[in-house]
Structure 1
Amino acid sequence: MCAALAAAGADAAVTLCVSDRPAAPLTFPDHEGQAQYLVRSAVRAAGAEPQFVVLPWRRCIESVKAGQVDGVLGVQAFQAYRDFVRFPLKNGVPDRALSLGVDTWVVVTTADSGVSWDGKALLGANSPVSYPAGVNVVRQALDALAIRNADSAKMALQLMHMLKAERYQAVVIRESDARGFLAQDEFKSLRILAPSFLVSDAYLVFSNEYAQSNPAVVQATWEAIRRIRATREWMELAPSLAK
């Protein structure tokens, strides 16, 4: 690390928000996932010290917008947030090489819902398709397909209960959540439609205020994420952080 960067970042705390909803394999509210490990290591490599706070997702977004936290882990919807946070960009779009990993979303239905998904069109849904509250990347994908949608529940488990009670014909939730639920007897009557509905890169983003005040730390953190993800040590460690 160069002396100037060390001086700029040394002993400086970087407050970073993590959702209170599990987002396997990236973040968890009660233990360290892949993204938390990557960010902790990368921020320290940049000469600063990360401090994670756990909040509801919408409060994470509101807090970074207001400058109350310095950044947020796992942000995906570039178009929704680009005006008030800094993404690592290349040619005007988020640089996938600097992401924390991918988040995979799937459609879950009842066996007799009549809903089908071929990767291009979601057919047969006569009621809105629901998804966890505040997940803009899923809302944008559904809007792009002109599919009525609603974010009527905070947690994926609530959506599964609503689906089983036939309040919805289909919901979109994280694949890791869906597979965990379908392994339980209670939800064995439900099914995951293939292929995946959405595979989205997730990023560490910084508030505009923090990025303007600490550009060297921000850039060094993103570059460290790239370096760490390319190491053999990371390849071996990542599976153990996925649950």
Structure 2
Amino acid sequence: MLFALAIALTGCGNAYPAGLVLVAADSSPTAYVKDGTPSGILVDVVTEAFRRTGERFEVQVMPWARCLAEVRSGRVDGIFSVFKLPERNEFLTYTNVPVITQVLAFFVPADSDVKFDGDIGKLGGLGIGTIRGTSYGLKVDSALKTGVWSTVVETNNVDNLVGMLSLKRIDLAIGYRHVVLDAARNKGYLDKIRELSPGIDEIPSYLAFNKQHDYSKVIANFDRALTSMKDDHSFEAIYEKYLGPKAGH
């Protein structure tokens, strides 16, 4: 199901007077639907940035694989948030200031004796769960493609991933800290899983636009607005609203 949030902003500098259409993956706490309306950390960040630029836009929340398909085809203007990957450079133009830095980590059942010392290869004998169509950065994506894990179970969303891990249907799950822990908390599974330390990577993630049109003015304005949000601490305040004081981002 698709949910949309339309933001009508007044401003004489709109590059796209009819309004931009942006898509975001349905993944709490970054972008999700609450009372029929898109909400979440990144929805709030993007909304405030475009409020400052005066750009009209709407957000549609949908599964991640569909988000990528929609922006690749040009049916929507932009997508958030995405990593900079070589294969995406063919169809995406990125903003320059990240909307989030994702902390990538492994998770195991709470009573698992698995340990992690930073060497991904040592976990190769375990069955791993992933979310279909999701990139986990160059290091992990390469490991998945080259068959480091003999058993890979793909799920459609983080709720399914956390559920499978808590029920021990998989030995290991990979995901973004905020997203996995939030899903576990909401589903009552927080005491059934644990995060392996150290984390795998910290990856900046961006708002990006399709390459079928020129969004250079939108991007420049968005970058300025997002930088101003970081300078005046409103960016940090949005994160703290959802994650508590001194939340990492």
**Following TM superposition, by how much is the alpha carbon of 1:207 offset from its aligned partner in structure 2, in angstroms?**
0.8
Query: Structure 2: which 5+ residue stretches go unaligned?
Result: 1-10, 245-249
Residues 47 and 111 of structure 1: is their aligned pair in 2 closer, same or farther, counting only changes over 3 Å? closer
Q: What does 1:216-231 correspond to in 2, within 5 Å?
A: 216-231=217-232
Instruction: Tell me the number of residue pairs that the alignment of Structure 1 and Structure 2 aligns.
Output: 226
Q: Distance in 2 between matches of 1:234 and 1:175?
A: 19
- Note if 1:14 corresponds to 2:32: no
Conserved 8 A contact 1:107-1:197:
yes
Instruction: State the match for 1:141 in structure 2.
Output: 139
TM-score by length of 1: 0.78
Change in Cα spacing, 1:169 to 1:48, as seen in structure 2 (3 Å) is: same
Aligned to 1:167: 169
1:207 to 210, 219, 235: 210
Q: Which residue identity lines up with residue 28 of structure 1 in the other structure?
A: Y
Residues 107 and 127 of structure 1: CA distance in aligned 2, closer, same or farther (over 3 Å): same
Equivalent in 59, 62, 85 of residue 55 of structure 1: 62
Which residue of the other structure, out of 194, 197, 201, is the alignment partner of 1:194?
Answer: 197
Deviates more, 1:129-138 or 1:55-64: 129-138
Structure 1 spans left out of the alignment, 5+ residues: 89-94
What residue identity is the alignment partner of 1:21?
S
Show the 5 A alignment for 1:47-86: 47-86=54-93
Q: Percent identity among equivalent residues?
A: 18
- Alpha-carbon distance in 1 for matches of 2:78, 2:128: 30
Q: Is the 8 A contact 1:110 1:164 kept in 2?
A: yes
Runs of 4+ in 1 over 6 A off after TM superposition: 182-185
Q: In 1, Cα distance between the equivalents of 2:110 and 2:49?
A: 44
Task: Tell me which amino acid in the other structure corresponds to 1:108.
Answer: F
Question: Normalising by the residue count of structure 2, what TM-score does the alignment of the two structures yield?
Answer: 0.77
Aligned to 1:135, what secondary structure does the other structure show? coil
What residue is the counterpart of 1:176 in the other structure? Answer: 178
The counterpart of 1:29, out of the listed 27, 33, 38, is: 33
Does residue 158 of the first structure (1) align with residue 157 of the second (2)?
A: no
CA deviation map 1:57-96 (0-9, x unaligned): 11111111111110001112422311101013xxxxxx4x
Contact 1:19 1:54 in 2 (8 A): yes
Q: Which residue of 2 aligns with 1:91?
A: none
- Corresponding residue of 1:40: 47
Contact 1:47–1:217 under 8 Å retained in 2: no
RMSD: 2.9
Distance in 2 of aligned mates of 1:8 and 1:143: 38
